[in-house]
Amino acid sequence: MKKFAIVITLALATAVAAQEAEKKTVSTYYRNALTSMMVYHAEDEFGYDVYEIFSELPPEDKYDNHDVDLHVIDNAKISGVARRKGVGLHRQTYGGDIILTKEEKQANGEAMLDLLNRAEIGKRIVAKWFNLTGETLQDAHFGTDCIEERSHYNASQLEIEKARYTIQGLSALQDVSSELINHSFVLVSDMTYITAEDRATTAKATLGVIGAVFDAFAGGNSGQRLAETAGDIADKFTGFKVMTHSYLYQLIWNDSIANIFYQNYYTSEPDPARIQAFLEDESSFRLQYLGTESANYEKTKLVGKYSRSELLQMITVRSIDNNIAKLQKRFEAFRVKAPITTVEYDKKGQPVGYRAQIGEKEGVEDNMKFEVLEARYNKGRIEYHRVGILKPVRNHIWDNRFNALIENDSDGELQGTLFKLDSKSVGHEIMPGMLIRQING
């Protein structure tokens, strides 16, 4: 039977770890999961072009990609904000530099939260974590491939057979999934573009956002479709300026919600009643609004280096990256952890520097401090223990922004930011594979 195979795998991994040592240093670490979305504005000159660019952007490389079937939100479908005919977000006037007020940003964030919860994004995130699959309701079931892959648990088939009928598997699944799933985030970006050129004639497209039925188990798209139209992109240009507002949300996942899921819905074999109950649950799997950040990004003289569409792509990526970096500074749970890749030594064999592959894209500045974390198993769970504090070295911060090599005519020799030990940090050897994470102060 396949029903308990993966969950027993988790149980065995936990038991083996406990037998080998109470606390064992490991190379594995858990990354935050990120679901990315954008707000689509049919009324904007470059609305459809921005949609096409956003749809082709690579996933954020410091997060696990957790995109769901809803990737684009139609501004006209957002209610609860006093805008045109009672719908749509507060936003800057096209061609102007009016900054949204704190109250307007809060109203946008709350209206977006209402839409995301009505669209059952939290449920879709949970469904992806547990590999909800099936051609029909009759053969739909959950799995743990995603959790197994991201937590790196495994066991041999012989060990699975020996432990098949134990009751430890589900408990182990709950333990490891809780450490992963409660770090699920949704980032919704709303972009306003300003161009130095005259407005071009742009085809308008309209899309729906909420389907009548949540059909993730069948791979559905919840009714969203864009008309196959596009703006007229020219090759000559003088530049663009973009203001991007990014709104951050987090999946609410705690012991009580997990218990509801495991006791009432989880099944690794087809069980139409349990799957139907999951699909009809309208209150258990919801998001909470954390906050918003804004970034103003502008490039005005890049003729010869980029086509116009390439420039749109670059400033879109960089403005979103800037907002992510700001949100990481504000919300500790959202911060990325990056492994130390190399340790540099002087002629006497003493460590003098440490490199990690984070840089300007993540907002690294030379006045920041980063804690060094050692990941350890403790009773089957991964714990992070601080073993030192590092600071970035001025003029040695990696420019890993999108298209930085082309823009800077660089050969890409620098691979990672150089860090040095903080003068107040002593007492533990720092090795490759240990993690760094920004700290306040």
Q: What average pLDDT does this structure show over 200-226?
A: 36
Q: What is the pLDDT of residue 323?
A: 92
Percentage of the chain modeled with pLDDT above 70: 66
- CA 187 to CA 320: how far, in whole Å? 9
pLDDT surpassing 80 at residue 272: yes
Q: Which residue has the higher pLDDT, 148 or 16?
A: 148
How far apart are alpha carbons 63 and 304 in whole angstroms? 33
In this prediction, residues 394-403 reach a mean pLDDT of: 82
Q: Is the pLDDT of residue 200 over 50?
A: no
Query: How many Cα atoms sit within 13 Å of 260 on the Cβ side?
Result: 14
Residue 60, pLDDT score: 82
Task: Assign 237 a pLDDT band (cuts: 50, 70, 90).
Answer: very low
pLDDT, average across residues 80-84: 59
What is the Cα–Cα distance from 131 to 6, expressed in whole angstroms?
12
- Rounded mean pLDDT of 185-196? 82
Q: What is the structure's pLDDT at 286?
A: 97
What tens digit of pLDDT does each residue of 94-138 get?
445 557 888 888 989 998 999 999 999 999 999 999 999 988 999
Task: Give the residue-averaged pLDDT of 291-303.
Answer: 70
Q: How confident is the model at residue 152 (pLDDT cuts 50, 70, 90)?
A: low
For residue 405, name the pLDDT band (cuts at 50, 70, 90). low
Q: Using one digit for the tens of pLDDT, what is the confidence trace for 153-184?
A: 443 332 333 333 333 445 556 666 777 898 99
Average pLDDT of the residues in 283-306: 77
Sequence-separated (6 or more) residues with CB below 8 Å from residue 293: 245, 246, 248, 323, 326, 327, 330
Looking at residues 265-294, what average pLDDT do you find? 94
Q: Tell me the average pLDDT of the chain.
A: 74
Global confidence as pTM? 0.76
Tokens describing residue 392 = 């970035």
Q: pLDDT class for 50, splitting at 50, 70, 90?
A: confident
pLDDT per residue as tens digits for the range 317-359: 888 888 998 999 899 889 888 888 889 888 888 888 899 988 8
Over the stretch 409-438, which tens digit does the pLDDT of each residue have? 554 556 789 999 886 666 678 888 888 888
409 compared with 203, residue with greater pLDDT: 409
Distances (CA, A) of 10 to 7, 50, 144, 154: 5, 43, 10, 7
Give dist(CA 358, CA 360) in Å, integer: 7
